[in-house]
Chain A
Amino acid sequence: MMHNIDERQQALLLNEKSIKKRKISTGIQYTLAILVTIFMLFPLYWMLISSVKSQEEILRALPTFWPHEWHFENYKNVLQRANFSKYYYNTVVMTAGILISQVVTGVLAAYGFSKGKFKAQKFLFLLVLGALMIPLQVTFIPLYIMFANWKLTDTFLGLILPEMVSPYFIFMMRQAFLTVDDSYIEAAKLDGMGRLGIITKVLVPMCKSTLITITLVTFTNGWNSYFWPKIIAKNEVRRVLTVGLVHLRNTFAGLDTMNNHEIMAGAVLSILPVIILFFIFQKYMLTGYEKTAMK
């Protein structure tokens, strides 16, 4: 009896102790997590805050953590005088072009490589995978010369062409299509569906989440692309946001702290669509990379 009570008391005590301990560790975890989040968000906060300050305020020796006056005209200046509205248009068209062509070619090829049957299929798929190992950073010189000969510098076609097919897209979609059982396809065929019908009405709906995820990745990669646009579209007529932002930084050459308020406004403008998408499609965008990780 005695023994029993003793044990129970002990257990109770232990429990209290561990609850206390757990509470402390939870508290520590919360504090750390919040600190980490603040730390990670600070650059974005600083960008946003700087973008609405006046030139005078941004150059003060004592930085202000909250703007004294709100200067939204920084945005107007950047859109109009620094031509960001033009860059916006260019970026939208370029990204749309890349997106549409990658989805079309990607879904088609993914079908062929997963559900189709033809000669040298394995070898050709290896060729697609092999392309993953040849980055633009290796091939841009001949591509640039080729495009210059074709008069494609400073054109939308020049911006889009090298990005029209993504081996990564094909690979991911093929993986998804492979998980769809062939019986669905046989059934669709019996219903008299052709290839396009099977792709659009059976396979794509069944692999919707993968498609959305990869499409979002394609979108952000296109929107944020810099290397190729910098090379092929130097001129203002087809300059995209990423390149335009760096250009804006140079308009005060040798005076590079003078217009940081406008540069920050430009930076906010150029990431805005992606941030909005991120919050709308959070579910997909957070899992996007995990999915690739699971492969």
Chain B
Amino acid sequence: MKKMLLLTAALLLVTGLVFAAGASETKTASTAPAISYEVTEPITIEWWHALEQQYWPLVDEIVGEFNATNPLITVEAKYIGNYATVNENLVAAHAAGSGLPALTVANTPYVAEYGKGGLTEDLTPYIKATGYDIDDFGEGMIAATSYEGKQVTLPFLISTQVIYYNKTMADKEGITIPSQITDMDAFMKKASKLNSDGTTDRWAIIIPGWDQWYFEPMYLNSGVKIVNDDRVSTDLAGPISADLTKKFQNWVSQGYTYWASGTSASSNMRQNFVDQKTFSVIHTSSLYNLYKGLIGDKFELGMAWLPAGKTKISEIGGSVLLIPAKNDQKTKNAAWVFLQYLIGKDVNMKWADGTGYIPTRNSVLSSEEGAQFLQRKPAFKAIFDNLDEINPRIQHAGWNQLATIWKSYLDQIMIEGADVDTNLGMMADEINEVLADSE
């Protein structure tokens, strides 16, 4: 009897397994007519973010205010980790169809991947149904947050690549950040200080190698097609890319710059800057307040646009907000209310003031408010002068894999001094594979 029972239990388990496996392969299509976007009953929702401890007081303040003014909705903010970790957790939860947040941030390059994979809810009907005005966002912002014409995400905290430099040093020694990549050789020589034994006493600039986003603009502005128009190949092994890569490699080997890579790369780079062991660093504008705080009154902090080539564009960084598609409608509705609040002008200005994120609204950027903002943060003039040059990220479902491969090859080229042409060739083969796999 016992044996029978156990056997039956075993059979049940196995059949359950088969069904479970079978179920995963069939996709259920739901076409429900006339959805209501109203929140009608109390609900608690989870919001995933990637804002580190230093931002938590601000997060608490903003979420607290929302909870106080929206009696039906209670938001719980959860720090998940950096953008890569948020991505890992989100995709995992999406695959499981459980444990999804009502609302989450995502780094800007993931928009296409999520849009294509069906992870994100198309927000267009929500925008229509609730008459939300998204026209106040610039065209670039809208383009950066949509996929194939669908508004799958909306801009939350937006930043861009900038160069931070030691303004006190610049004034004293007469150094300027070059406006053209072609002028960088001269800059490198002038801004760095080498010891007689060939070691570096002071770097001209430190280039973050841990995230390709930081050096992407220099490639784009030189005319490199990171993803070709055919969507399944890259131009990163082409002559323009090879030339620029060789330039970087040369600067590194001369000791003018160093390629910051590895687990502590970011903090090492920042420390070098604060200790005045480098004239400048490439980083994200969102860390402006952090740099300012770390430097204190040791020296004056300057901010500049990255050197240009044929063009002088930069790319939107930071995060967008999205609602996972596999949530139920009630959760989505509540998330939509909270989303509108988070991307609202007032909240956005709180972030812009408290951190280094850029105001997202046209009505702020090109008005008296913008002028006031600049008075508070004069260094942001470098960004405000170039607002039209901030572009959406390259959108491709294989982007994340491409970036990983690119970074890892550049690491070898820059730090190991590996041969540029051979390595870029191998790299392009690999990238073409993942692009084709993902398209």
Question: Do B78 and A253 touch (CB < 8 A)?
Answer: no
A contact residues around B17 at 8 Å (CB): 146
Question: Do A153 and B53 touch (CB < 8 A)?
Answer: no
Q: Confirm or deny: A151 has a beta carbon within 8 angstroms of a beta carbon on chain B.
A: yes
8 Å CB contact of B264 from A146, A251, A256, A259: A256
Question: Roughly how many angstroms separate A121 CA and B163 CA in the complex, as a whole number?
Answer: 71
A contact residues around B52 at 8 Å (CB): 251-255
List CB contacts (< 8 Å) of B21-60 with chain A. 21, 23-24, 52-54
Q: Confirm or deny: A139 has a beta carbon within 8 angstroms of a beta carbon on chain B.
A: no
Q: Given contacts A154-B99, A235-B99, A250-B82, are A259 and B92 in contact (CB under 8 A)? A: no
List CB contacts (< 8 Å) of A141-156 with chain B. 145-151, 153-154
8 Å CB contact of B20 from A146, A256, A259: A146
Interface size, B (range): 20 to 34
Question: Roughly how many angstroms separate A255 CA and B266 CA in the complex, as a whole number?
Answer: 8
Q: Confirm or deny: A247 has a beta carbon within 8 angstroms of a beta carbon on chain B.
A: yes
Most buried by A among B17, B23, B92: B92
Question: Roughly how many angstroms separate A145 CA and B53 CA in the complex, as a whole number?
Answer: 33
B contact residues around A149 at 8 Å (CB): 20-21, 23-24, 96
Q: Confirm or deny: A115 has a beta carbon within 8 angstroms of a beta carbon on chain B.
A: no
- Please name the residue on chain B nearest to A151 by beta carbon: B98
A contact residues around B89 at 8 Å (CB): 234-235
Question: Do A252 and B53 touch (CB < 8 A)?
Answer: yes
A selection of 9 A-B contacts at a CB cut-off of 8 Å is: A146-B17, A149-B23, A151-B97, A153-B92, A153-B96, A154-B99, A235-B89, A250-B82, A251-B52
A contact residues around B85 at 8 Å (CB): 250
Q: Confirm or deny: A25 has a beta carbon within 8 angstroms of a beta carbon on chain B.
A: no
Question: Roughly how many angstroms separate A153 CA and B78 CA in the complex, as a whole number?
Answer: 17
Question: Do A259 and B270 touch (CB < 8 A)?
Answer: no
Question: Do A151 and B96 touch (CB < 8 A)?
Answer: yes
- Please name the residue on chain A nearest to B19 by beta carbon: A149
- Please name the residue on chain A nearest to B21 by beta carbon: A149
Question: Do B53 and A259 touch (CB < 8 A)?
Answer: yes
Question: Roughly how many angstroms separate A255 CA and B52 CA in the complex, as a whole number?
Answer: 10
A contact residues around B96 at 8 Å (CB): 147-149, 151, 153
Per DSSP, are chain B's interface residues mostly helix, strand or loop, or mixed?
helix
- Please name the residue on chain B nearest to A144 by beta carbon: B92
Q: Which residues of B contact A (CB under 8 A)?
A: 17, 20-21, 23-24, 52-54, 78-79, 81-82, 85, 88-89, 92-93, 95-99, 263-264, 266-267, 270
A contact residues around B24 at 8 Å (CB): 145, 149
5 further interface pairs, Cβ-Cβ under 8 Å (given A234-B93, A235-B99): A146-B21, A148-B92, A153-B99, A253-B81, A254-B266
Question: Roughly how many angstroms separate A255 CA and B97 CA in the complex, as a whole number?
Answer: 34
Return B302 CB to nearest CB of chain A, in Å.
21
Question: Roughly how many angstroms separate A149 CA and B93 CA in the complex, as a whole number?
Answer: 11
Question: Roughly how many angstroms separate A256 CA and B269 CA in the complex, as a whole number?
Answer: 12
Most buried by A among B53, B54, B89: B53
8 Å CB contact of B53 from A151, A154, A251: A251
Question: Roughly how many angstroms separate A259 CA and B24 CA in the complex, as a whole number?
Answer: 42
Question: Roughly how many angstroms separate A259 CA and B79 CA in the complex, as a whole number?
Answer: 16
- Please name the residue on chain A nearest to B269 by beta carbon: A254
A contact residues around B21 at 8 Å (CB): 146, 149
Return A251 CB to nearest CB of chain B, in Å.
5
CB-based closest 8 A-B pairs: A254-B266, A148-B96, A153-B96, A151-B98, A154-B99, A149-B20, A234-B89, A253-B82
Question: Do B263 and A150 touch (CB < 8 A)?
Answer: no
Q: Confirm or deny: A9 has a beta carbon within 8 angstroms of a beta carbon on chain B.
A: no
Question: Roughly how many angstroms separate A251 CA and B56 CA in the complex, as a whole number?
Answer: 10
Question: Roughly how many angstroms separate A73 CA and B264 CA in the complex, as a whole number?
Answer: 27
Q: Given contacts A145-B24, A254-B270, are A234 and B88 in contact (CB under 8 A)? A: yes
Q: Confirm or deny: A163 has a beta carbon within 8 angstroms of a beta carbon on chain B.
A: no
Most buried by A among B21, B78, B88, B96: B96
- Please name the residue on chain B nearest to A237 by beta carbon: B99
Question: Roughly how many angstroms separate A66 CA and B385 CA in the complex, as a whole number?
Answer: 53
- Please name the residue on chain B nearest to A236 by beta carbon: B78
Return A270 CB to nearest CB of chain B, in Å.
18
Q: Confirm or deny: A257 has a beta carbon within 8 angstroms of a beta carbon on chain B.
A: yes
- Please name the residue on chain A nearest to B24 by beta carbon: A149
Q: Given contacts A149-B20, A149-B21, A256-B263, are A251 and B79 in contact (CB under 8 A)? A: yes
B contact residues around A247 at 8 Å (CB): 81
B contact residues around A253 at 8 Å (CB): 52, 81-82, 266
Question: Do B20 and A234 touch (CB < 8 A)?
Answer: no
Question: Roughly how many angstroms separate A146 CA and B96 CA in the complex, as a whole number?
Answer: 9
B contact residues around A146 at 8 Å (CB): 17, 20-21
Return B78 CB to nearest CB of chain A, in Å.
6
Question: Do A254 and B23 touch (CB < 8 A)?
Answer: no
A contact residues around B267 at 8 Å (CB): 254-257
A contact residues around B98 at 8 Å (CB): 151, 153-154
Return B395 CB to nearest CB of chain A, in Å.
25
A contact residues around B23 at 8 Å (CB): 149
Question: Roughly how many angstroms separate A253 CA and B97 CA in the complex, as a whole number?
Answer: 28
B contact residues around A154 at 8 Å (CB): 98-99
Question: Roughly how many angstroms separate A94 CA and B270 CA in the complex, as a whole number?
Answer: 40
- Please name the residue on chain A nearest to B90 by beta carbon: A234
B contact residues around A151 at 8 Å (CB): 96-98
Could you give, for residues 43-86 of chain A, a 1 whenever the CB lies within 8 Å of some chain B CB and a 0 otherwise? Answer: 00000000000000000000000000000000000000000000
B contact residues around A153 at 8 Å (CB): 92-93, 96, 98-99
Return B28 CB to nearest CB of chain A, in Å.
13
Question: Roughly how many angstroms separate A251 CA and B79 CA in the complex, as a whole number?
Answer: 8
Return A155 CB to nearest CB of chain B, in Å.
9
A contact residues around B266 at 8 Å (CB): 253-255
Could you give, for residues 248-282 of chain A, a 1 whenever the CB lies within 8 Å of some chain B CB and a 0 otherwise? Answer: 00111111110100000000000000000000000
Return A262 CB to nearest CB of chain B, in Å.
9
Question: Roughly how many angstroms separate A147 CA and B20 CA in the complex, as a whole number?
Answer: 10
Could you give, for residues 111-150 of chain A, a 1 whenever the CB lies within 8 Å of some chain B CB and a 0 otherwise? Answer: 0000000000000000000000000000000000111111
Q: Given contacts A250-B85, A256-B263, are A150 and B20 in contact (CB under 8 A)? A: yes
List CB contacts (< 8 Å) of A202-224 with chain B. none
Return B128 CB to nearest CB of chain A, in Å.
33
Return A165 CB to nearest CB of chain B, in Å.
14
